[in-house]
Structure 1
Amino acid sequence: KINGLIKFNKPTHTGTELIILLAVVGNGQVTIENAATEPEVDNLIDFLNSAGARIKRKGNLIQIYGVKSLKQKTPFKIASDRNEAATYVSLALATKGSVTISLIEKNYISSLIDSVITIGGLVKKINRNSWKFSYPLTGGLRAMDIETAPYPGFMTDWQPPWAVLLTQVKGESIIHERLFENRFSYVEELKKLGAQIEFIEIKVNNPKNYYHFNFEECKKYQQAIKITGPQELHGGVLNIADLRAGATLAIAALVAKDESVVNNVSILERGYENFVEKIQKLGGNIKKI
């Protein structure tokens, strides 16, 4: 049983969902202040309420009234994975192709749509929940800077595959990571393929407030990179260190002109259902060995 007020100093996606799950069954009442506003949190609330929970949200305030038990009486449709959507959009643009993402609401990918437009890509609304993303017919893409941020900003999970796209864009682009202290495990692997990426220092006046992790404890990690493009990538042997890096290296291998081998693929498969099969359907030359 937990009861009372929980106030986060900074919004936390996982922390908000954890408190909801801990408080939903019981006889307590919990209020979360400064709760995460990600749509996945709302999807979780909708699911639990459909099973008999009593959870209310108003902005970044969530109130949970504990119930004796939960029972799901009707099927519930979970939301599409916006991280998967961003991965395939990055791949399509990096290979000068197109992809249609269906069954995903605009509020899940609004900042992705904005970023595709900013970089010079084409976005076409097919219907209410379907979007086509395409490489432009003329003019190519342009360099851009990315700063990760909580919802509705550009997700930290999106920046690794987006980095591959930026290697194919003319000019210098900067990615500044604010949410996850060790997001750049993919950088050295991309450099094996010929990517021009360097770590840079960006002065932040108030890092304690700016970053969503303990900056003082994480100074061994760097939080910004500069990517210079366009750069033709060549094949290589790559090693996946984490989930998003896995998709990133797979995209880079598909962009590269020669054959590549990507190891530790089980890490990638943890977050991407039927990844190889989906890439093959998009025309990618990929197989699991």
Structure 2
Amino acid sequence: MPVQNIPEIFIAKKKLLPDLLVHDYRMTEDVVKNKANLSVNMFSFLQTGQKHIHFANVSVAVNEKQSILIKHGNCLFTELLNQEQVYYCKLFFFSQKILDDFLTKHKFSFAGSNGSDKKDAPFFVIANDEYINRFISSLAAVTQLISTTGQHLLAVKFEEIMLYLVCKYGQPFIRYLNALAKSDQQSLLKKTVENNVVTALKIGKIAFLCNMSLSTFKRAFTKEYNENPGKWLQKKRLQKALELLQDNKQKPSEIFREFGYKNLSNFSTAFKNEFGISPREVPST
């Protein structure tokens, strides 16, 4: 599946990307692990359904009682319907310039905010409350206005929600904003790979999360680990599967999918080739 460039896919061709943009996003079918490139930062105010996001080194799930602020960059989106049979969220995009202007204007509020939470996590989960619900409703009215007036009001609404979240969450949110403003030029390969050992992600999607083409990823991986990524990941995943089976925590039929195998037979064959016994024959420790 091709990469979705967001929010560019929501904008008419030849139209410049504004510093602030609101988009109502609806779906009537589940979407699993779509590749997305966020060119700007984004609030996702979820109204119905569930959202799962897989980043380079961490994943997160939110429901309609939560909103989430997401850092620009590559990620995988899974969006699931609830009983309403529709997925709906209001997206509020903002450029790095808008964020920098906000931090500069309110720098007095950020004294003593050195350090970071969760090692600069690419997201911040927000618990919806009455104020946030009213804010979401107000965005709908603003987006109906003509472009120039609407942009001015969106700037006011952006400052409003940011100041409210500073009041609601204090220093953890302030530290997140400061981390969000930092440039990110460090290679994510090692961190991304080692945080996705025990997942079903294929090499292509891990490469995507590293912001690399598959061929570039394979070369960089081999240089870092002195081994082909497919073989390395298979060994690591089978070793983890062995540990789970030895601890009697799960059965082979319960774990093969989470290690990237389409069926139990393929998993059993790979397991036996690696350890000389079938998964069912693993003795308890």
* Fold shared, TM-score > 0.5 on shorter chain: no
Is the helix fraction higher in 1 or 2?
2
Q: TM-score, normalised by structure 1?
A: 0.23
Structure exhibiting the larger radius of gyration computed from Cα positions: 2
Higher RCO (CA 8 Å, separation ≥ 6 residues): 2
